[in-house]
Chains A and B, each alone.
Chain A
Amino acid sequence: NAGVTQTPKFRVLKTGQSMTLLCAQDMNHEYMYWYRQDPGMGLRLIHYSVGEGTTAKGEVPDGYNVSRLKKQNFLLGLESAAPSQTSVYFCASRRLLAIQETQYFGPGTRLLVL
């Protein structure tokens, strides 16, 4: 049981380049989330998914796209990276309607856009 994993751990991009961040969970959780964390701030929700094949926008979705083709994977894409997207990205998963709250976060992906 690996929990929530994120790939890659660190990436440097040039402005205009594209990339995909992968989040994988092996807990059969329905909900998955992508957040970004910037210095001195709490996390901000980019996109989320309530189940396989569904996605929805969070607070700061501009410049990002997501897909949830398989229940265990949630992909975050940057089509044309900008320096403002330099951040640490966290993925999280959660079980639907659990008696006890279950939320798990990945270790993060540090992205630098030059």
Chain B
Amino acid sequence: AQSVTQPDIHITVSEGASLELRCNYSYGATPYLFWYVQSPGQGLQLLLKYFSGDTLVQGIKGFEAEFKRSQSSFNLRKPSVHWSDAAEYFCAVATGTSYDKVIFGPGTSLSVIP
């Protein structure tokens, strides 16, 4: 069965520290891969997307993600976290140009200590 897992339910980091959020997926073929951020009471904002090409993807707000086919992983990273990065982060996979077969992970909640 197709699935997306985010092993860490909650992560706390200090401001200025580096961050890595994990995402693993199970899919028949390489799907579109996404990371989104959701601030409290807000809709989701797309951080970055991967489909093909360079396995290191740059996104907005200083985030990047690396696709590792052998590990079926798409981990999100940021070298230096800011207090405003505190939010919920969702990994998602989709297939087809319509993104009709889309699965979201359960999310990782990030807290940032000033």
Question: A: which residues have CB within 8 A of B?
Answer: 4, 31, 33, 40-45, 48, 50, 56, 58-59, 90, 92, 94, 96-97, 101, 103, 105-108
**Is B78 close to A, CB under 8 A?**
no
Task: State how many angstroms separate the Cβ of A110 from the closest Cβ of chain B.
Answer: 9
> B45 contacts which of A50, A58, A94, A105 (Cβ < 8 Å)?
A105
Contact between chains at B46 and A42 (CB < 8 Å) = no
Chain B 69-106 residues near chain A, CB threshold 8 A = 90, 92, 97-100, 102-106
Task: State how many angstroms separate the Cβ of A34 from the closest Cβ of chain B.
Answer: 12
Contact between chains at B98 and A101 (CB < 8 Å) = no
**Is B11 close to A, CB under 8 A?**
no
Task: State how many angstroms separate the Cβ of A75 from the closest Cβ of chain B.
Answer: 18
Contact between chains at B104 and A43 (CB < 8 Å) = yes
Task: State how many angstroms separate the Cβ of A104 from the closest Cβ of chain B.
Answer: 8
Contact between chains at B104 and A50 (CB < 8 Å) = no
Contact between chains at B106 and A41 (CB < 8 Å) = yes
Having A42-B105, A90-B44, A107-B43, one finds 6 other A-B pairs with CB under 8 Å, namely A42-B90, A43-B44, A50-B98, A92-B44, A97-B97, A105-B43
> B104 contacts which of A44, A48, A97 (Cβ < 8 Å)?
A44
Question: B: which residues have CB within 8 A of A?
Answer: 4, 41-46, 49, 90, 92, 97-100, 102-107
Contact between chains at B44 and A48 (CB < 8 Å) = no
Please name all residues of chain A whose beta carbon is closer than 8 Å to the beta carbon of B42 when the two chains form the complex: 107-108
Closest partner residue, chain B, to A31 (CB atom): B98
Closest partner residue, chain A, to B44 (CB atom): A105
Contact between chains at B43 and A42 (CB < 8 Å) = no
Please name all residues of chain A whose beta carbon is closer than 8 Å to the beta carbon of B98 when the two chains form the complex: 31, 48, 50, 56
Contact between chains at B106 and A101 (CB < 8 Å) = no
Please name all residues of chain B whose beta carbon is closer than 8 Å to the beta carbon of A106 when the two chains form the complex: 43
Contact between chains at A56 and B106 (CB < 8 Å) = no
Closest partner residue, chain A, to B43 (CB atom): A105
Please name all residues of chain B whose beta carbon is closer than 8 Å to the beta carbon of A101 when the two chains form the complex: 46, 49
